[in-house]
Amino acid sequence: MGTLFQQRLEAAALTTESALERLLSRDPVPGEEARPARLVDAMRYAVLGGGKRLRPFLLIECARLLGAEGRAVVDAAAALECIHAYSLVHDDLPAMDDDDVRRGRPTVHKAFDEATAILAGDALLTIAFDIAASADAAPAVRVELVAALARAAGVGGMAGGQMLDLAEDATWDEAALRAMQAMKTGALFAFAAEAGALFASAPAVERDRMRRFGRHFGAAFQLADDIDDVIRDGAAGRPSLATLLGPEAARAMIGQEADAALALLAPFGERADPLAGAVRFMVASAR
């Protein structure tokens, strides 16, 4: 049972998982030579069978809110999850965060080896763009989807944010942390929400509204995650708004981000209930 949000989150997870199963097949598609078993295994290990699928949920529900649904939307959600999974595989590498365990299982470079993990990340990133470009939507929608996904994931988005996060000489004041997180995690959330507007061929003003909603949603999610880290590991963890300002102030910030997100949903009325439920869930879980 659960709340409407939890039901929709579970449904999004199931459809995304099934799309990933289909797309990460062991058989090559036209234009490919063959898919080496070890590389497919590592890609599947990285992306299947775990994760809350919060980004796919956001994409699918934002699309539905604007009147778009179907296989193309689900494929876009799968592409987004491939990008998210690639970023975890590369971030876990010894040269980056050097993590041995993720979601209770050995990380990809532990379960396989470092070279395979680098290649599996590369291949997940690459296949995401094949999936987005091959979705069952008008070519004009697909090119916008590919370009938006690339900008959210690349030098001016997630990868750039990870670069900032690694900078050893950084001064982590509030503004710097906000800017880093907006790129490192915010950009993919903004894309997820924007993709809904893309599929619905919504006007630019709607697209912008959804991007802003995704950004606030992502910021609230990140703050909740940071508070969680402080509670688990104490203030010795990596710099975050929760370590800098303390959990109390971080909780107040979640409230502000949530209010901004909910205000952007207000014009949609109760049709936005699953998304509003997700926002309220984040606020509640960070208590």
Site residues for a copy of itself per CB under 8 A: 28-36, 38-40, 43, 86, 90, 93, 95-96, 113-116, 118-119, 121-123, 125-127, 129-130, 132-134, 138-140, 142-144, 146-157, 159-164, 166-167, 179, 182-183, 186-187
Which residue type does 132 have? A
Is the CB of 2 or the CB of 154 nearer to a copy of itself? 154
Is the CB of 27 or the CB of 270 nearer to a copy of itself? 27
- Least Å distance, CB 99 to a copy of itself, is 13
Is the CB of 178 or the CB of 271 nearer to a copy of itself? 178
Is the CB of 190 or the CB of 227 nearer to a copy of itself? 190
Phi/psi at 74 (5° precision): -65, -40
Is the CB of 159 or the CB of 244 nearer to a copy of itself? 159
Contact at 8 Å (CB) between 129 and 79?
Answer: yes
- Least Å distance, CB 234 to a copy of itself, is 25
- Between CA 287 and CA 276 the distance in angstroms is 18
Is the CB of 9 or the CB of 120 nearer to a copy of itself? 120
Is the CB of 152 or the CB of 278 nearer to a copy of itself? 152
- Least Å distance, CB 276 to a copy of itself, is 26
- Nearest Cα to Cα of residue 24 among 127, 143, 113, 159: 127
Is the CB of 33 or the CB of 270 nearer to a copy of itself? 33
Contact at 8 Å (CB) between 191 and 220?
Answer: no
- Between CA 205 and CA 224 the distance in angstroms is 29
- Least Å distance, CB 205 to a copy of itself, is 15
- Least Å distance, CB 265 to a copy of itself, is 22
List of E strands, the chain? 101-102, 105-106
- Nearest Cα to Cα of residue 74 among 162, 10, 135: 135
- Least Å distance, CB 285 to a copy of itself, is 27
- Nearest Cα to Cα of residue 157 among 178, 194, 182, 132: 182
- Least Å distance, CB 113 to a copy of itself, is 8
- Least Å distance, CB 125 to a copy of itself, is 6
- Report in angstroms the alpha-carbon separations of 173 from 176, 180, 219, 245: 5, 11, 16, 10
- Nearest Cα to Cα of residue 257 among 207, 182, 148: 182
Give the helix ranges, DSSP H, for the chain: 4-23, 37-47, 54-65, 71-91, 108-111, 114-133, 139-153, 158-166, 174-181, 187-199, 204-233, 241-245, 247-265, 273-285
